[in-house]
Amino acid sequence: MATTIRIAAQRASTRALAQMVQSRGMATEKQIFNQIQSTKNIQKITSSMKMVSAAKLKGDENRLAAAIPFNVWTTPISGEPKLIEDATFEELPEKCLVVPITSDKGLCGGINTFITRSCKDVIKKLGDAGKTADLVVIGDKGRAQLRRFFGEQIKRSATEVVAPGSFALTSALASEITAVSGDYDAIVIIYNSYVNAAVYNQMYKVVTPFVTEGEGESLLAYEFEPDTKSEVMVDLSEYLLTSQLFHSFMDGAAAEQSARMTAMENASKNASEMIDSLTLQYNRARQARITTELIEIISGASALED
């Protein structure tokens, strides 16, 4: 009877010790196993999203390749797009309307943060130079980030933009921008420019309205009918803005998919590393449990011999 009580006491103390160790924050085998299974499920999702983004990227690359020659005619008028990094924006006029192009969806790394950061940089440098700037934000992610800092300067925003974009959709957006751009000296389009699957840069374009008469008159090399020049200039100005927006949309869409593909690849890699770490932790916990059970058996056998 005494031997039985001693064995029961030893087993109880062993279990109490195990419970005490567990209460100090060490996960059980079951908890670790559940974490491993959850991480594997997440890895499957991120791997699938990477494959989907890779397929969509091919389509966006084709649309971008088609949009580039479509927009070549704007270069002699508006100039080449410029890199935002280290830009001073000294060439911008007194009053600008900044149009950042962001996405409505996340899980694409810091691609939208780079655009909002560029907007803050533009507005700050214009403010330091005594110039003013307002915003028309395209994309829910950009609106959510920028309205915390420039809520009163956001004149309009466009969200839930259908992807992939079309020229008809861009024309509608250009009309909305034109409706509020009458009092501004220039429209500054900020977007992500696709380089390759691993690299994209933040660029900006400056679209200025045409001057129909007087000093600095636009398109002097072309002849217009006297009665229609102002009307043609208005239509051409809106078409210029639409073409620039369309190219920026296609460029930004390709950059977004490449960033999402990279982000999902990194997430899958991190999940694999976490699974390896959890598996090692699971094996150690399993080994500790087996060792504890062996100690209980050996202790019981020793007690019986006594």
Q: What is the pLDDT of residues 123-151, one digit of tens each?
A: 999 999 999 999 999 999 999 999 988 88
- Whole-angstrom Cα distance, residue 184 to residue 203? 21
Handedness of CA 230, 232, 238, 240 (dihedral sign): negative
Do residues 281 and 7 touch, judged by C-beta distance below 8 A? no
Q: Is 50 exceeded by the pLDDT of residue 3?
A: no
pLDDT of residue 306: 65
- Whole-angstrom Cα distance, residue 251 to residue 71? 12
Do residues 99 and 190 touch, judged by C-beta distance below 8 A? yes
pLDDT of residue 198: 87
pLDDT digits (tens, 9 = 90+) for 9-18: 455 545 544 4
DSSP 43-73: HHHHHHHHHHHHHHHHHHHHHHHHHHHHTGG
- Whole-angstrom Cα distance, residue 158 to residue 137? 6
pLDDT digits (tens, 9 = 90+) for 146-186: 998 888 899 999 888 877 788 888 998 998 898 888 788 89
Q: What is the pTM of this model?
A: 0.82
Compute CA distances 231 → 82, 173, 213, 238, whole Å: 30, 21, 13, 11
- Whole-angstrom Cα distance, residue 119 to residue 142? 10
More confident residue, 256 or 214: 256
pLDDT of residue 300: 81
- Give the three-state DSSP class for 206: strand
- 200 — pLDDT class (breaks 50, 70, 90): very high
The alpha helices in the chain, defined as continuous H runs, are: 2-23, 29-70, 75-78, 111-128, 140-150, 167-180, 229-305
Query: Percentage of the chain surpassing pLDDT 90?
Result: 52
How high is the mean pLDDT of the chain?
85
Strands 154-158 and 186-196: unpaired
Q: Is 70 exceeded by the pLDDT of residue 46?
A: yes
pLDDT of residue 9: 42
Average pLDDT over residues 192-211: 90
Average pLDDT over residues 205-212: 84
> Residue with structure tokens 């962001």?
102
Neighbours of 149 (CB within 10 A): 12
- Whole-angstrom Cα distance, residue 227 to residue 159? 40
pLDDT digits (tens, 9 = 90+) for 24-42: 445 688 899 999 999 999 9
Do residues 184 and 143 touch, judged by C-beta distance below 8 A? no
- Whole-angstrom Cα distance, residue 103 to residue 121? 20
- Whole-angstrom Cα distance, residue 93 to residue 91? 6
Torsion of CA 57, 82, 122, 234, to 10 degrees: -90
Name which of 116, 109, 105, 177 is nearest 143 in CA terms. Answer: 116
pLDDT of residue 143: 92
> Residue with structure tokens 């209980």?
296
- Whole-angstrom Cα distance, residue 235 to residue 250? 23
Q: Is 80 exceeded by the pLDDT of residue 50?
A: yes
pLDDT of residue 232: 80
pLDDT of residue 164: 77
Name which of 169, 97, 138 is nearest 252 in CA terms. Answer: 138
Q: Is 80 exceeded by the pLDDT of residue 223?
A: no
The one-character DSSP state at 151 is G
- Whole-angstrom Cα distance, residue 188 to residue 122? 10
Q: Is 80 exceeded by the pLDDT of residue 117?
A: yes
Q: Is 90 exceeded by the pLDDT of residue 102?
A: yes
- The amino acid sitting at 19 is Q
